[in-house]
């Protein structure tokens, strides 16, 4: 995915920073339900495409 040139990264603060720190410390990860659902749909589409040979 290409990002526009005007994209500016923002610092992670407060509860989000704590979540990231906890995930790093425990070897976990952070994801929301919408992101997980999107990834599953993409994986399923790719799997079906590979099975049908398209």
Report whether 20 contacts 30 (CB < 8 A).
yes
CA dihedral 19, 16, 30, 6 (to 10 degrees): -150
Distance CA 18, CA 44 (A): 33
Sequence ranges of the domains in the chain: 14-52
pLDDT classification of 11: cutoffs 50, 70, 90: confident
The C-alpha angle 23, 27, 30, rounded to 5 degrees, equals: 40
Distance CA 13, CA 8 (A): 16
List pLDDT tens digits, range 31-51.
888 888 888 999 999 999 888
What per-residue confidence (pLDDT) applies to 26?
A: 93
What per-residue confidence (pLDDT) applies to 25?
A: 92
Query: Higher model confidence: residue 3 or residue 40?
Result: 40
On whether the pTM is more than 0.75, the answer is no
């Amino acid at each position: 995915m290409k990002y526009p040139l005007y994209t500016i990264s923002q610092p992670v603060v407060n509860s989000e920073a704590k979540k990231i720190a906890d995930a790093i410390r425990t070897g976990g990860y952070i994801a929301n339900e919408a992101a997980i659902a999107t990834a599953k749909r993409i994986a399923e589409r790719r799997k079906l495409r590979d099975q049908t040979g398209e």
